[in-house]
Copies of this chain bind each other. A is one copy, B any other.
Amino acid sequence: MDVRALETLRAVRTQGGVSAAATVLHLTPSAVSQQLAALTRDAGVPLTERIGRGLRLTPAGEALADAAVDVAVAVERARAACAVFLDRPEGTVRVSAFQSGARLLLPGLLTRVAALDGIDLECSDEDVAQDEFPALTDRVDVVVAHRPDGGAGWPGEGARLRVVPLLREPLDVAVPADHPLAGRGSVRPGDLVDEEWIAVRQGFPVARVLEAVAAAAGAPPRIAHRINDFSVVEALVAAGHGVSLVPRHTGGTHPGVRLVALAGVRAGRRVEALLRPDVAERLVVRRVLDELVAEAAEVSGPAPVR
């Protein structure tokens, strides 16, 4: 039973197909298909079944993919067992974050890690829909993700995916500086029924929060634009093209925008680090993760995260 093939099977599951798995594994689809065939022959039972033009894992395949995670964890533990005897942890860690999270955390993280000698950090920003965050763990080591506060957890959380909470960020209402509500200490959903909204794209993490706020006000929101980048959002808000929900620590940088706290409804997002369980065993990754947690605690203020 080849460990490499097990890793491939795991990638096929999370990526949802042979071609996608081949991409993250830096292989051709043919190689992945052959590995699957060899693994199936070895296992004695079908591990995948064709579904349309793609394929899906059978129950046996799912079970084997679960076991593959444990194998990968054991292998990384072995590597970590040696790394303990090295004088200092070395290596490169790849971190990806969604835009606002990247702007909030990555600068501080980079300075922190620069102080630790021997650790290289490769950062990237990723703009993906809510349910695509877990699959990113195949491309990078640490994925800084976010999800609506109070929503469901991540699929596979625990066994397939390790989740480390970083911070909770309330969502405030961004209004133009000359807006009637700009001076208010807080607003309630009912105050906002007449506003035009600038929302994020469908399926992206905080999209549902606006719906919840509007539901509290009793009317569906009037969405004028769908913009993902909060700096663009603030520019539009400042120009009077609508109001928006923006994370408190991320927003408020534009001079023409005021943030007003939202009362009477629970609106916020959780920022969390996502890792594959095997990657979480690497010592360098743990060091970086520690710094990331510390940085998150600092930027979210002295108040406790949870």
Assess whether B81 is in contact with A67, with CB atoms less than 8 Å apart: yes
Assess whether B75 is in contact with A45, with CB atoms less than 8 Å apart: no
Residue interface mask A1-13, B partner, CB < 8 A = 1: 1010010000000
Which residue of the partner chain B has the closest CB to A90?
A: B44
Q: Which residues of A contact B (CB under 8 A)?
A: 1, 3, 6, 43-45, 47, 59-60, 63-64, 66-68, 70-71, 73-75, 77-79, 81-86
State whether A1 and B79 are in contact (beta carbons under 8 Å apart), knowing that A70-B74, A74-B70 are contacts in the complex: yes
State whether A82 and B60 are in contact (beta carbons under 8 Å apart), knowing that A3-B3, A75-B3 are contacts in the complex: yes
A60–B44 Cα gap in the complex (Å)?
Answer: 37
Assess whether B70 is in contact with A82, with CB atoms less than 8 Å apart: no
> In the complex, which of the residues B63, B71, B84 contacts A84, with contact meaning CB atoms closer than 8 Å?
B63
List the B side residues contacting A86 at CB < 8 Å. 44-45
In the assembled complex, how far is the CB of residue A118 from the closest CB belonging to chain B, in whole angstroms?
A: 12
Which residue of the partner chain B has the closest CB to A60?
A: B85
Assess whether B73 is in contact with A85, with CB atoms less than 8 Å apart: no
Assess whether B63 is in contact with A70, with CB atoms less than 8 Å apart: no
Can you give 20 A-B contacts (C-beta < 8 A)? Answer: A1-B78, A1-B79, A6-B78, A43-B82, A44-B82, A44-B83, A44-B86, A45-B82, A45-B86, A59-B85, A63-B85, A64-B81, A66-B81, A67-B78, A67-B81, A68-B78, A70-B74, A71-B78, A73-B74, A74-B74
A79–B45 Cα gap in the complex (Å)?
Answer: 11
